[in-house]
Amino acid sequence: MLAMAATDIRLMELGDTLAMLWVRLVAFVIECGTDGLFVAGCDGNPTLAGLAEFRFRLSETQLKTYLETYAETRLITWDETHGVIGLPATLMPSRRAAASRENGKKGGRPPKNSNLIPRNDPRQRHAIMPFSGGLSMRNETQQETQDASRTRIAKLEANNSSEAIASLVVSDADFHRIGRAALDAAGFDPARSLADYGIVRQWLADAAKAGLTVDQAERAILSTVQSAAQRAAASGKTVRSLLYFKNSVPEAIARRDMPAPVLSSAMDYEADARFREAHKAWVRAAKNGDLQPQPRREDFLAKARSAA
């Protein structure tokens, strides 16, 4: 349509105003018509007067005059009796397109394999073939399948990553809190440094796999990072990220090398005294063969702090 507007001599002779109006008229017929024809006032279509006023900002008389002018030069087809506006022959849809549209209204072309059988069913991409042994090998085949399945499941369980284990016991809040504390312990300035603490999640995973609580893991990580950062500063080395501690922290977790919990109130000291008494009782019971879970200072402190 635009190529015709730019190259057709008939439109050039009409001038720019009538050429632009022709483009708008043809675009309207393509948009609202059917098979290149628009019937004004039929099947819910706007009347010619409404089309002239609201679409082209013209009077009905002016629009009819322009339509007659276009029709004389065969730029459109115009049937005033029935109010039919049609595209020129060069812009009319092809007969194949019209036939395809009518065929689509009827449901389209039927599939080639309308009567499906197992032999021509496209979903059946392989033949059902018998295997040697038949029913006599059912138990053996079933046993082999079950054994293989159990082996695969056990292998998957054995290969679970440490991060998957840590995700069950370490919350995101603990991860972010300990991560930011690790950056502070390493001496990073949060306003200037771009270092991240993603490796802390792996350290927490290692601690969870080793059986440490979140509090124990936090103390082991922070104390190791702080002491290693101080040694690096003393020797003139630069710590650029937490990857600097990728070896020392896991080793400290494996050794369970961590400082004692910080006692900051009288309530903490009372809880620590109760822990010491419980630990002595546990040692005496262990000597007598009474194996009970070992008391932990963290549990006594957490209980005392939650009760407050």
Residue 227 lies in a domain: yes
Same domain, 192 and 277: no
For residue 133, the model assigns a pLDDT of 55
Burial class (CB in 10 A: 0-12, 13-18, 19+), 227: middle
Indicate whether 184 belongs to any domain. yes
Q: Residue 144 domain-assigned?
A: no
Q: What pLDDT shows up at residue 250?
A: 92
Q: Do residues 10 and 76 share a domain? A: yes
Number of domains in the chain: 3
Whole-model pTM? 0.39
pLDDT at 6: 74
In a domain, 29, yes or no: yes
pLDDT for the residue 143: 55
pLDDT (tens digit, 9 = 90+) per residue, 72-110?
888 888 888 888 888 887 787 777 776 777 777 776 666
Residue 270 within any structural domain of the chain: yes
The residue segments making up the domain with residue 291 are 266-307
In a domain, 170, yes or no: yes
Q: Which of 31, 58, 86 is the last residue in one of the domains? A: 86
Residue-level pLDDT, tens digit, the chain, 308 residues: 677 777 778 878 888 888 888 888 888 888 888 878 888 888 778 888 888 888 888 898 988 898 888 888 888 888 888 888 888 877 877 777 767 777 777 766 666 656 666 666 666 655 555 555 555 555 555 555 555 444 444 434 434 444 444 444 578 888 888 988 888 888 887 667 777 888 999 999 888 888 888 888 888 899 999 999 999 989 998 888 888 898 999 999 898 887 877 776 788 778 888 888 888 888 888 888 777 887 877 778 778 777 76
- Is the CB of residue 4 less than 8 Å from the CB of residue 74? no
Asked if residue 210 and residue 282 are part of one domain, the reply reads no
* Among 64, 86, 108, residue at a domain's last position: 86
Note whether 232 and 280 are same-domain residues. no
* Boundary-marking domain end, from 39, 66, 86: 86
Residues 244, 173 share a domain? yes
Tell me, yes or no, whether 194 lies in a domain: yes
Same domain, 47 and 78: yes
Domain assignment present for 222: yes
